[in-house]
Amino acid sequence: MQSYTIGQAARLLGVSPDTARRWADGGRFVTHRDENGRRLIDGRDLAAFSVEVAQSGQGDDDVAYTSVRNAFPGIVTAVKLGDIAAQVEIQAGPHRLVSLLTREAVEELGLEVGMQATARVKSTSVHIDRI
């Protein structure tokens, strides 16, 4: 059976490694040590726990629920509003991403220069998630 490290489990659960460690320390799921002393959780136990977490809504509050997998967290560097459309630029590390979206969407998200946001890319569309 496959086992997972605390870091791998955290990524699969959508939480920080610190949260996964606290859950393990608190007895939320059982871990064991490998020959190198790393804490591991069995795959079956992790699968059951992940269903429990998903059903209880106990993941990190700032996790976005989306089908778009290519995420670029960054900072908004420009917002250009037109009458109907808008352009938002995000600097995500070395990547500059530009999204064209409706003015209404920008206003609903409250996007402004200097705030954190995540650009999500699916095919040729860039979606913006507020953090």
pTM of the model: 0.48
Instruction: Please give the average per-residue pLDDT across 73-101, as a whole number.
Output: 90
Name the burial class of residue 57, with classes exposed (0-12), middle (13-18) and buried (19+) by CB atoms within 10 angstroms of its CB: exposed
Q: What is the pLDDT of residues 20-66, one digit of tens each?
A: 999 999 999 999 999 999 999 998 888 888 878 777 765 545 555 66
- The rounded percent of the chain whose pLDDT value lies above 90 is 37
Angle between helices 17-25 and 6-13 (to 10 degrees): 110
Looking at every residue in the chain, the average pLDDT score rounds to 84
Q: What is the pLDDT of residues 118-128, one digit of tens each?
A: 888 877 667 78
Gap between the Cα atoms of 106 and 131, Å rounded: 13
Using DSSP bridges, classify how beta strands 116-122 and 70-81 pair: parallel, antiparallel or unpaired.
Answer: antiparallel
- Contact present, 103 and 86 (Cβ < 8 Å): yes
Decide: helix, strand or coil at residue 72: strand
How confident is the model at residue 66, as a pLDDT? 65
